[in-house]
Structure 1
Amino acid sequence: MANIKSAKKRILTAERNRLQNKAYKSAIKTFSKRFQAAVENYKTNPSPEQLGIVHQEIAASYSKIDKAVKKGVFHRNTGARKKAGLAHILKLASAS
């Protein structure tokens, strides 16, 4: 345990940031899963409505990832890699 007052404050700040980052990462995983579920629905029932839902989900996922990069939760390369993975899934679904 820290003895210096500023170090004690820093421990509290680090814990608060850890919990916020954890929640943000969890939200991104949730958005990615929702996107993947929408893609699976589109594969089983390809229709313009389903494709619209897929595009809405990928846009929401991209937005959340970009905000995480902006806040410093993810490094920008990590954000780019996650977005590229989602784009790859969409490309495979559109091709079939």
Structure 2
Amino acid sequence: MNMRSTRSTVTFSNPFILPGYPGDLPAGDYEVLVEEELLQGLSFEAYRRTATYLTVRGKGAHAGRTELRVTTESDLKEALSRDATTNGTNNHSEAALSPQEALK
């Protein structure tokens, strides 16, 4: 099975929450990792998303630590939408929602 991974960055202007995780995450830039698998048996190349992760860097006693938090495309999109509504403008990257650059 052929897999690909793509990375992109999203920016939150305000603290935000992700379903399933306790507490707020601070405003800032976050790397998003999307994993996809190649769909077999088609006459053209197509991929299906299998996982979406948000990279969260530790603070305080956990500084230097990085955690990949499993999320969904819809939860990430909703968090970005809430953040944009709070600011009254949308300055966020859509790249995480439609990745285009494959990693090696």
TM bracket (short chain): 0.3 to 0.5
More helix by share: 1
TM-score w.r.t. length of structure 2: 0.31
More strand by share: 2
Taking CA–CA contacts closer than 8 Å with sequence separation of 6 or more, which of the two structures ends up with the larger relative contact order? 2
